[in-house]
Amino acid sequence: MDRELEHIVNEVGITGSGRRALVTYEIGSIDALLNAQEKISNAIELREGDKLKLLAVIRWRLANPDVNITADFDDASIEKFLGVEQTLSPTVDKEWNHICNIIGLPRGSREKLEREGVQTMQGLMAFQPNLESDSYKPNIWETELWKEAKEKEIELWKEAKEKLLLVIKWRQQNESADIVNEFTATSYETMMTHQIIIKTYIDQALGQPFRESLGPLYTSVREKNLLDDVIKKCQRIIMAASNLREQCGKFDYNTFIDKIIRHLHSLNEDQTEEAMVLIEKLIVIAGRTQSGKSAVKGVIQSFAGMLKLPLIILTKGVDESIDLRIKLRNMAEGTTMQSKHVVVASTKGDRLGYRMKDNEIFEAIDGITHGGTLVVADTHQQVLNKACIAIKKFRERLPGGKFILVVDEADAMLRTKAGSQVFEQALQQLINLEPCMRVMISATPVPFMLQLVNLGIEKDDIDFFGLDPSEDYVGIEDLRPLQMEGKEVFLEHDELTKSSAVPYTNEKVFALYNDAVSRRAGTKGVLLLDISSPYVTADGNVKQKAEAVQRKLLDDKGVDIVVIIYTASGLSFKVPGKKWEHDQFRKSTVGPLLNFIDTKYGLAMPVFIFGYTKMRRGVSFRSTRRVPTHMVMSLGKGHHVSTIVQTAGRATFRGRNVLNDNGFKSVTVLMPRTDHSVVVNYQRYIDHVNKRIKCGDSFAEAMTGANELVPDTANFLRETFRELGAIKGERREFMNRVQHEEPKGLSANEKAVRAKFWDDENAQKLLRSIVRLQKGHYKFHVDDAREDLAEAEGLTLSKQKVNGLLSQFVQGTLIDRDPENGKGWYLVTKINRNRLVHFMNAEFGWMPDDAGADDGFEYDSSDDDNDSSIEPESEPPLPAAVTETSTDASDSEVHHQGSVRPAHNTPSTKRSNKPADGYHVHVVTPPAGVGTVESPVEFSDTDDEFEASPPVRSKKRASKASDNGLKKQRIVSQPIVNTNVTQHIERIAILDGSNVMFGDVVGRYDGLKSWWIQWDDETNAVYGEKDLHKGFRLYTAHQSNDTSRDFLEARASRYGSTNDIPMVSPEDDFMTGKCIVQPNFNRRVYYAASGETPSKIATKFKLMAREIVEMNKPRDGYKYINQKRSGFVGYVEGLHMNNIMSTRRLLPLPFLAGPLPETCIFAVLNFPVPLAAPDLAAATLAATSNFCASLSIPAPAPPPCAPMLELYLPRRPRRL
């Protein structure tokens, strides 16, 4: 420090820290001081007084450049310049000064705020957003000398922010209060005490298992109404990182955090043993493809980090799991989750050994000192050996510890109806570990939404969030069909074949290619996605197609393009005139490869990407400066709706500005018309559900259109033949579950279908045949159509020709295939039962009366439910209880009988060369004039039998059929239960005391959270008492952890006493392969057939084989069983199989088959019949009311009495 500066420092009184700061900033002369004005202004190390004096010295020197400093400068020289500095800040008011004194605001923090203009209460209120985020930080110079001071200042600033936020909260609660007189040290200390409670509750209790020692803390939060403050503080902590907030776009993360905090709080709210049970919270997040769903996982990850919870994220694909781990690590920056605790189960990227990988996972999933994230792929090895084991290890260290499960691409995890794949069983085991919260994320959530509705989940146990896209999002609505000669162009299904000169191309496809490379003015960055060739190695594969397209565009257009192929082997690319490059980017993602091409060859070079399976889901196709501009998509008929929407979504992205900068306003696509309609309408349906939930509907109400019909424009299944998801039968179940508005005219696709068949004589006559056939039943066989064509139209067509036309009708969504009866069977979809006339050309003859509105089969709600087909591949629509007529063909007198029997209103079974046997049933009929079930019925004594004949197909043939003995029947319809509860009811007997009851289900009714099941017990053997008759059973759904009802107390023991397992006697060998349920012991007992191993039994009950072994091994006589071999395959009365000399026959061996499903039986109501239908309903209602009253629970709504319908019994109905 030179003599002049030393003189100045001494005169103005700068000592200690001020002098050290001058040394640190290398200010050793007056000239250096003049050049350091900005540093001094921003230096937090300098005390505010020293800073003002040095700035005043600078101003004095600038005003007096020629004055001799050592001779003429003293402390009085800068007084007027200090005044200039003071005038820069307004006068601090007394309220602000009072606040600072009460809360003890550090001087440095106060000076910093005042320089920012916070010098009044109003200024502090306006500064609140900065205090709640990380955007405002103290400006501290990065030097080793001041490192310790910097850390201390940051801590002081954090403390100051919390204090000021409390002041703001007090002011919001006391808007009209006098701050100086009413904001006292006492009121501030009370708020500080609450703040300490809130912080302690978040850190020690909110995410942890219930602990008795924290009882006063739980009580304080509840009694002081601090939950809202807990939520606000959590929101600030979780969303502190600006990077995470920016990536979330329009996602309502505050509401999301609010709901999950309230859920966790509810687990601790009641300090009873029942409250310690982990109740799973289900959250559905429906986000558009490529709209930033990863940011939602980032929010959940930050939440888990704050509460020190393990987070398991399940996603589709190993490569995708590695890529997701990278994204999550980037989003962990600035949050409470450390990036080193975000790990992936796969060893593909880091090549760690088995033990090293396990150690990495266990260290991350600590759950005590920190939170951690484990990303696993959809393989049973990763789910079982990594995720499940990690959670079990975590709970060994922390019994009862909570964890979170996120299922990404959740619809892709549903693969079979029975959940029989090993991955599905592994996932179920992970779910059985009871996460405190399960978040299901997908752009195509409808399949698992349908599953959740079928489970009957309570409104409070599931939440739905729609992920609204940001303004720069290019979505489904921006996919514009290719235009040729001013008209939109679409592909036909199977129009592209590998036999063309260039595989899987035609004139339309090359029109799209030419549009992409046309080099219109201002266009660049062309990126075309071609998803049409399903082959990788066979002729016509993606590599051959890419080479042929590259060569043809160069020959015909003189345009060079770079081609990329994306298969399971990875990425490969080829530039014009060079060989394929496989190694450089084989294991990379698409983004880095596109960035490489953009840098080396420029945006003027078009890029075409060819692929199939790997391009359908979960991958982004874009670089920093290049986004999709064109797409051709042609997937086979076997692909379901979810795949279609996901594949089309590969052309969506966040980056509209990039698209516009490259000279494009939308993405041009070429795909089948029906697929384009599905893609657009699917998103409209999700938007409708989201809107209805925001209006107050429950999840089920919004999805099914219970309160407001789903718009016809959102009916995405109306114009497609494709299945809803991977599980067959969901399409029909969804169509009958969801209530849509009536179609308003024909859609563009339907008009195209009508034009296709309008002048086709064979198609027109076949349409008329279908209309006639549906009068008898809405299901028909191809041979039925051929016979009708021959008899009514005089047209003889081969079976192959008729099947071909019917297949085209299926593609045009005029009819549908019948999955229940298999090949050759079709059905008229509900929506088209009265609309086929719109596709019929009057020039070809007969037209239905009144446009088909009232002509033909009369349907009601039970028929619609029959369509839903709970087990579409194996079960027929279930019949209702009926009263039937029987007449003698030669006599008009009606004979009555005194019993009620089931009638089967199912289509005939598959045809065979053998003569069809009639179905013999006992029938009764109401007397003439009795039109409804409510009318009293008088039965006569006559007992006849009736043989049913084929269904009547037209009015013309009805009289002829009557001559052959066909009689019209009247049935009483009942709605059919439309949930999977019947999957374990229909074929399971009920053990009630000493009675085992078997019987066919002859009627069901779906009520709110309850099911009425009518059984026919009269014709089957029973165990014990054998005079049981037909009766109603009442079933209800409940959560397995609900311990609030008396009848569930028996669930305390897992298996109960093995002495209560009934053995069978020789006359009861019919029980082989049967299962009984014992509600009092919460268990099922299965009577195994000879040779059935625990592995086979486990498959039947969706369990793991070792579970069957573990629950049966302790039983007497089962000591030596294992998964592949049972201790004995059956037993003889009084003797085990160990006695090999026994000659007595083997009987079924009872195996414990696990606990009851989540949906559990709690009532069995039996009473003798026959009763007239009104008496039966009244008796059932009375018994149910008494039963429910004894348990102090509300009785469910009784089955409705429906009007009678006129039907014809089909040939050879199939029994259950």
pLDDT digits (tens, 9 = 90+) for 941-986: 333 322 222 333 333 333 333 333 333 332 222 322 222 333 333 3
* Per-residue pLDDT, 854: 36
pLDDT at residue 1090 tops 80: no
224: left (phi over 0), alpha (psi -120 to 50) or beta: alpha
Is-cis flag, bond preceding 1170, omega within 30?
yes
Q: Are residues 688 and 834 in the same domain?
A: no
pLDDT of residue 1080: 60
Query: Averaged over 141-161, what is the pLDDT?
Result: 62
What was the pLDDT predicted at 267?
A: 80
- The predicted model gives 332-343 an average pLDDT of 92
**412 and 500 housed in the same domain:** no
CA torsion, ordered 78, 82, 84, 87, to nearest 10 deg: -170
**Quick one: which of 781, 774, 761, 444 has its CA closest to 617?**
444
Amino acid in the structure at residue 253: Y
Judgement on whether residues 306 and 422 belong to the same structural domain of the protein: yes
* pLDDT (average), residues 3-7: 85
Helices 446-455 and 730-737: angle between axes, nearest 10 degrees: 70
Is pLDDT larger for residue 1058 or for residue 907?
Answer: 1058
- 1098 and 1177 both lie in a single domain: yes
| DSSP element (H, E) containing 921 | strand 920-921
Comparing 550-564, 608-622, 861-875, 1152-1166, which segment has the lowest mean pLDDT? 861-875
Q: For the residues 77-93, what does the mean pLDDT come to?
A: 54
Least confident of 421-435, 574-588, 962-976: 962-976
User: What type of residue sits at position 891?
Assistant: D
Arithmetic mean of pLDDT, 203-210? 86
Shared domain check, 641 and 755: no
Please compute the mean of the pLDDT values over residues 1102-1126 and round it to a whole number.
74
**Token pair for residue 20?**
């050290």
Residue 259's CB: how many other CB atoms inside 10 A?
14
Using 50, 70 and 90 to split pLDDT, how confident is the model at 491? very high
Query: Per mean pLDDT, which of 240-244, 332-336, 463-467, 624-628 is the most reliable?
Result: 624-628
Q: Indicate the residue among 629, 645, 671 that finishes a domain.
A: 671
Q: Give the per-residue pLDDT at 963.
A: 34
pTM of the model: 0.64
Q: Are residues 777 and 714 in the same domain?
A: no
In a domain, 1025, yes or no: no
Please give the pLDDT value at position 549: 95
Looking at residue 1050, its pLDDT comes to 27
- At residue 1211, the pLDDT reads 25
Question: Of the given ranges (290-294, 532-536, 1018-1022), which has the lowest mean pLDDT?
Answer: 1018-1022
pLDDT confidence of residue 836: 87
pLDDT in tens, 920-936: 222 222 233 322 222 22
pLDDT of amino acid 946: 28
| 1040 & 1078 share domain | yes
Once rounded to an integer, what is the mean pLDDT over residues 982-1002? 37
pLDDT of residue 1135: 35
| Among candidate residues 249, 250, 313, 276, the one with its CA nearest the CA of residue 441 | 313
Does residue 806 register a pLDDT over 60?
yes
The least confident of 420-434, 962-976, 1095-1109, 1123-1137 is 962-976
What is the pLDDT, as a whole number, of residue 1196?
55
**Residue 1001: is its pLDDT beyond 90?**
no
The pLDDT of residue 80 is 65
205 is a domain residue: no
Among 764-778, 792-806, 932-946, 1186-1200, which is the least confidently predicted range? 932-946
Confidence at 882, pLDDT banded by 50, 70, 90: very low
Whether residue 809 is found in the same domain as residue 663? no
Give the mean pLDDT of 350-377: 89
**Residue 340 belongs to a domain with what CATH number?**
3.40.50.300
- Res 603: pLDDT: 94
CATH of the domain at 802: 1.10.10.10
Mean confidence (pLDDT) of the chain: 73
**228 against 1200, higher pLDDT:** 228
pLDDT at 181 over 50: yes
Three-point CA angle 137, 97, 160, nearest 5°: 30
Distance CA 780, CA 795 (A): 18
Give the per-residue pLDDT at 1038.
36
* CB hemisphere CA count around 317 (13 angstroms): 16
pLDDT given at position 1189 = 62
Q: Of 108-122, 175-189, 273-287, 1047-1061, give the range with the top mean pLDDT.
A: 175-189
pLDDT, position 1032:
43
Domain assignment of residue 862, yes or no: no
Query: Residue range 646-657: average pLDDT?
Result: 94
| Per-residue pLDDT at 368 | 84
Average pLDDT of span 1052-1064? 55
Which pLDDT value is given to residue 527? 97
Q: Rounded to a whole number, what is the distance in angstroms from the first to the last CA of the chain?
A: 102
- Residue 296 binned pLDDT confidence (cut-offs 50, 70, 90): very high
User: Which of 630-634, 713-717, 956-960, 1076-1080 comes out lowest in average pLDDT?
Assistant: 956-960
pLDDT beyond 80 at 583: yes
Mean pLDDT of 1076-1088: 71
CB-based contacts of 254, cutoff 8 Å, min separation 6: 235, 239
Question: pLDDT value at position 1200?
Answer: 43
Closest CA to 504 of 476, 534, 472: 534
Tell me the range of 248-252, 776-780, 922-926 where mean pLDDT is highest: 248-252
Backbone angles phi, psi at 640, to 5 degrees: -90, 175
Q: How far apart are CA 1124 and CA 1091, in angstroms?
A: 10
Amino acid letter for position 294: S
Q: Is residue 636 part of a domain?
A: yes
- CB 420 within 8 Å of CB 1102: yes
Report the pLDDT value the prediction gives residue 1190, as an integer from 0 to 100: 55
CATH number of the domain where residue 488 is located? 3.40.50
| Distance separating alpha carbons of residues 1153 and 1147, to the nearest angstrom | 18
Angle between helices 215-223 and 185-204 (to 10 degrees): 130
Which among 11-15, 173-177, 557-561, 1079-1083 has the top mean pLDDT? 557-561
1003 domain residue, yes or no? no
Structure confidence at residue 92 as a pLDDT band (50, 70, 90):
low
Comparing C-alpha atoms, which of 386, 325, 378 is closest to residue 358?
386
In a domain, 957, yes or no: no
> Can you list the positions of beta strands (E) in 1056-1117?
1075-1078, 1083-1088
3-state secondary structure of 212: helix
Choice between 922 and 584, residue whose per-residue pLDDT is larger: 584
Where residue 509 falls among pLDDT bands split at 50, 70, 90? very high
The gap from C-alpha 35 to its chain's centroid, in whole angstroms, comes to 62
Which domain covers residue 698, as residue numbers?
683-737
**Section 470-492 average pLDDT:** 92
pLDDT more than 90, % of the chain = 31
Indicate whether 424 and 487 sit together in one domain: no
Q: Residues 830-840: what's their mean pLDDT? A: 80
**Of 692, 714, 737, which residue constitutes the final position of a domain?**
737
Q: What is the structure's pLDDT at 59?
A: 78
Higher-confidence residue: 1064 or 392? Answer: 392
Neighbours of 235 (CB within 10 A): 19
Give me the mean pLDDT over the 398-411 stretch: 93
User: 396 or 1130: whose pLDDT is higher?
Assistant: 396
Which residues are within 8 A (CB) of 32 and not within 5 positions of it... i.e. 6 or more apart?
A: 5, 26
Place of tokens 């102090």: 1192
Strand bridging mode 968-972 / 946-947: unpaired
Residue 432 in domain: yes
In this structure, the strands spanning 920-921 and 995-997 are unpaired
Residue 1044 lies in a domain: yes
Q: Can you tell me whether residue 179 is helix, strand or coil?
A: helix
Lookup: tokens for 991: 């053990």
96 Rama sector, left if φ>0, alpha if ψ -120 to 50, beta otherwise: alpha
Q: Where does a domain end: 31, 55, 86?
A: 86
Q: For residue 1178, which phi and psi values (nearest 5 degrees)?
A: -65, -45
Say if residue 1070 is in the same domain as residue 1182. yes
Give yes or no: residues 440 and 550 share one domain: no
Round to whole Å and give the CA distance between 904 and 779: 14
Count up the domains in the chain and report the number: 6
Residues 697 and 802 in one domain: no
